[in-house]
Amino acid sequence: DTAVSQTPKYLVTQMGNDKSIKCEQNLGHDTMYWYKQDSKKFLKIMFSYNNKELIINETVPNRFSPKSPDKAHLNLHINSLELGDSAVYFCASSQEGVSYGYTFGSGTRLTVV
C-alpha cells in the first residue's frame, strides 16, 4: 500500500501546454510539500501545505499553482509550460514537528519539448 503516490510517473508535453500532477498520501500526515529536482539532483522546495493551508510559497513562477482539496491530497498545476520546467517533481508529506522526516513519493519526470 503506497504511502505517498504521485501520478503520472512520466509526463511529456509541448511548450505552452497546461498540465497537472496529483499527489495523495495515506499516512494521516498534516503537512505536504512539492519539491523540484533538477538534472544535477539539486532539490528545491516549491510549496508546503499544512492541513489544506498554504504555509510555504517559495520564489516560484505564478504559472505554478498548488491546490489542496483536503489534507491527504496536494496537486500541482502548471500553466504555459516552458523548456526550463523539465525536471523531476516530488511530493512529500510529514507529521507536524521538526523531528519527523519526510516521506517522499516516487516522483514525476516532466519533459517539456
Q: Is 53 in the site for another protein (CB under 8 A)?
A: no
For position 102 contacting another protein by CB under 8 A, the verdict is: yes
Name 42's Cβ contacts closer than 8 Å, sequence gap at least 6: none
CA 26 to chain centre: 16
Q: With contact defined as beta carbons under 8 Å apart, do 74 and 21 qualify?
A: no
Minimum CB separation from another protein for residue 61, in Å?
Answer: 19
Minimum Å gap between C-beta 107 and another protein is 5
Q: Which is nearer to another protein, 1 or 82 (CB)?
A: 1
Question: Contacts with another protein in 7-36 (CB under 8 A)?
Answer: 31
Location of C-alpha cell 491530497: 73
